[in-house]
Amino acid sequence: MAERRLLVLFGSQTGTAQDTAERIGREAKRRHLRCRVEALDSCDVANLIHEPLVVFVCATTGQGDPPDNMKMFWRFLFRKNLPASSLCQLDYAVLGLGDSSYPKFNFIAKKLHKRLLQLGGNPLLPVALGDDQHDLGPDAVVDPWLVALWDKILTLYPLPPGLEIMSPDVRLPPKYTLHYLPEDSPHPSSDLLQPTAPRAAPCELHPFKARVVSNQRVTAQSHFQDVRLIEFDIAGSGITFSAGDVVMIQPQNCPEDVQQFCQLLHLEPHRRFVLEPTEPGTSLPPLLPQPCTIQYLVTHYLDISCVPRRSFFELLAYFSTNELEREKLQEFSSAQGQEELYSYCNRPRRTTLEAMWDFPHTTCAIPADYLLDLIPRIRPRAFSIASSMLAHPERMQILVAVVRYKTQLSKPRRGLCSTWLASLNPEQGDVRVPLWVKKGGMKFPADPATPVIMIGPGTGVAPFRAAIQERVALGRRGNCLFFGCRYKSKDFYCQTEWEELVTKGLLTLFTAFSRDQEEKVYVQHRIRENGRLVWELLSSGNAHVYLAG
């Protein structure tokens, strides 16, 4: 009998595709299939020719781009020299997650499906196109598609005699078991957050712990929005970047939330543990040290401030000893309960920690082994780099708007990363932030004679500050910036810097202060008013136009 094994590969940017892939993995286990769930870039593509059955779950990002963790796979798959029969033994299915408000809706899933067909793969089903815009989100497409998928798979790979599909009432084992170390076991030398000697260029698995040099508020104290210009020391990191590049920052939870979480779950922050995979072949989470403390796990790894997904409530229901709570959790994890879940979680942006407060009997019964199944890891955040190495060698600056807004919940919502960054005070000692750099999507012209028109309202001006610093250092003129904000006196970032460059004839600057007069004035009004100049730069100067918001 054919070996009953399934490989689920995902390309995920925000975690939704990974969450869906893990759901497919759980459903496969209930059907007694041997199943691995991996990011596309973590699997050896060349081994696809040995895989009988693969489900691909992929998101589309930006303007039809593949997520970061499938970029290498994507390049390999579209190599011209792959034979047309490479994947003729492969049965596959593609599930796409996208947003129909974008022109290239689910572009990656459609293109992947087509390419696998070209290489001889056998599709089990038409490609599924999950849509964020649907009232019930992507699940409106995913739920019925999975029912059809399991029908197909069980026809090809029937259940072995004597086995039945596991009932949804049976709780699956956790991915890892957490073994506490005896309180008196020796501590290894603690270098969890010490700067280490650079190996290669810093990356997600080996970020550089950059020292915060300054953290300066650049909006007036009376302005509603707190915006920071933060400078990092990157000397000795091996990091290089140019205008348009992006810095990835790994944030952490605030101490109050960590303390609350540990109290709710009766966890002792200073207890040390090691993780062991439940199934052979499962790799350990690469970003967690072994051994690790509960404090480190909750501070640096578990995303307790994210809005919980449907899978969170599904797993939580298994631990519930309270009938009322269990019924509510089961409703939130059912297909019919999705509208109610949206109103409870997504609309008010309720956090995982807050949801746990609402189910106290269940929360205190969560076994520590299941923490990593229940709560996703904290994802890095991307910021446009706002400085040039030519102007500030061994330094890097970012412009950060601190995210804070009201919903129907009494407590204001706060952005995890921006709130943490704003709280860092370099005057209180050696403050460090784990970061690494990614190539950005903006490339500035190589020809020094090409003029550049930059439109950057608000913090959208960050990459243009880097570009202007870089171009000025290289002696390039033809720098034209349209900047917009609310008030000249409150949120005109980098005002003196721009005005100095204008005085020196190195920058043409147009500003739109929307609230400084009766009628609102935005950058598009300034572009229209200066239409003749813009057209001249475009038609005879061959100018490049850049827009960031």
In sequence order, what DSSP letters do the residues of 149-190 get, joined into one string?
HHHHHHHHSPPPTT--PPPTTSPPPPSEEEEEPPTTSPPPP-
Indicate the class that CATH gives domain 255-374: mainly alpha
Domain ranges of the chain: 5-156, 208-250+380-438, 255-374, 452-547
| DSSP letter assigned to residue 218 | -
C-alpha span between 148 and 457 (Å, rounded) = 47
Give the other-Cβ count within 10 Å of 267's Cβ: 17
CATH topology of domain 452-547: Rossmann fold (3.40.50)
CATH topology of domain 5-156: Rossmann fold (3.40.50)
Spatial CB neighbours of 361, under 8 Å, sequence gap ≥ 6: 320, 321, 322, 325
The answer to whether 186 and 283 have CB atoms below 8 angstroms apart is: no
5-156 and 255-374 agree in CATH topology: no
The three-class DSSP label of residue 266 is coil
The pLDDT assigned to 63 comes to 86
Domain range 208-250+380-438, CATH class: mainly beta
Strands (E), 236-282: 246-249, 272-277
280: exposed, middle or buried (Cβ count in 10 Å: 0-12, 13-18, 19+): exposed
| Bond prior to 291 in cis (omega within 30° of 0) | yes
Reported pTM: 0.91
CA-only gyration radius of the chain, Å: 26
Do 252 and 423 meet the contact criterion of CB atoms below 8 Å apart? no
Among candidate residues 281, 303, 284, the one with its CA nearest the CA of residue 292: 284
Mean pLDDT for each consecutive 10-residue tract of the chain (549 residues)?
88 94 96 94 88 96 90 93 92 96 95 96 97 87 96 95 93 96 75 53 94 97 96 97 97 98 97 94 90 98 97 96 97 92 95 97 97 96 97 97 94 97 96 96 91 96 98 95 96 96 97 96 97 96 94
pLDDT of residue 137: 83
Q: Which long-range contacts (CB under 8 A, 24 or more apart) does 525-530 make?
A: 526/482, 526/484, 527/455, 527/482
* Helix runs in 10-126, H state only: 16-30, 71-77, 107-118
Task: Report CA-CA distances (Å) from 2 to 26, 156, 490.
Answer: 21, 9, 69
Query: How many CB atoms sit inside 10 A of residue 140's CB?
Result: 15
Please give the pLDDT value at position 162: 94
